[in-house]
Structure 1
Amino acid sequence: MFILSGYEYLLGFLLLCSLVPVLALSASKVLRPSSEGAARRTTYECGMEPVGGAWIQFNIRYYMFALVFLIFDVETVFLYPWAVAFHELGVLAFIEALIFIAILIVGLVYAWRKGALEWS
């Protein structure tokens, strides 16, 4: 019999989760077009001739805007489980959440002062 009773479903789930990517990659390898040629090796395969080099510099504001978005995305991910279990956690968890939000607000003010939120 199974040594760890109650873990049969976990084992089945892990097997299924490891089997799905293997099947997807195998199916894509079998079903893909196999034509190799000069047109296939061109940039983007879009039918247009590439203009200029691929290594161009982007403005740092794009990255700063993405980082500010990531801050608030992480805030939402961490605060949602806390909000669901708010009644069971108590006052200490509320104070910890306020400290977490205060740290994120400091980051927002810093990004705002540096001009990371201006899209121009």
Structure 2
Amino acid sequence: MNTLTTTLLMAGAIALLVLFASILLPSKYSDQEKLSPYECGFSPKSNMRIPFSIRFFYIAILFIMFDLEIALLMPWPLALSNSLATMPVTMALVIIVALTISLLLEWATGALEWAEY
């Protein structure tokens, strides 16, 4: 047998071994302690299964989007110092204009309002 066949047979055998071990070994019984949320040793004060507000996730996505601006604009001073071309400046301006337009659009639609009056 060649090495490829041996490797595939060994990988298949290990996969089957792990599959059978995962079926046979774990305990199928869960107690109340294991199902309760962990809050530093105290019993929970409320139900932790309550879903978050969609506004929270929306603000988080907006933060990530504007935070990426920093990651995209950080290398440009180095690019400008190494080249006399206007391409880095043009690319930076395109990113800044796109982010400014999106910020103005979100501001106009009220997406940045956290509390509803």
> In 1, distance between residues paired with 2:64 and 2:47?
31
SS at match of 2:43: coil
State the partner residue of 1:3. Answer: none
Do the aligned partners of residues 62 and 53 (structure 1) sit closer, same or farther apart at CA in structure 2, a change above 3 Å counting? closer
Q: Note if 1:119 corresponds to 2:114.
A: yes
Aligned counterpart, 1:91: 86
Task: Return the TM-score normalized by structure 2.
Answer: 0.58
Name the counterpart of 2:66.
72
Give the distance between the partners of 1:53 and 1:67, measured in 2 at CA. Answer: 23
Show the 5 A alignment for 1:36-115.
38-45=32-39, 46-49=41-44, 51-52=46-47, 54=49, 56-89=50-83, 90-115=85-110
Match of 1:9 in 2: none
Secondary structure at the residue paired with 2:38?
Answer: coil
Return the TM-score normalized by structure 1: 0.56
Size of the aligned set, in residue pairs, is 84
Q: CA RMSD in A?
A: 2.5
State the 1:96 CA deviation: 1.6
In 2, distance between residues paired with 1:87 and 1:73?
Answer: 24
**Given residue 80 of structure 1, which amino acid in structure 2 is its aligned partner?**
M
- Report the identity percentage: 31
Note closer, same or farther for the CA distance 1:53–1:85 as it changes in structure 2 (3 Å cut). Answer: closer
C-alpha distance in 1 between matches for 2:53 and 2:32:
33
Larger radius of gyration: 2
> Counterparts of 1:99 and 1:49 in 2: how far apart (Å)?
49
> Aligned-pair distance for 1:50?
5.3
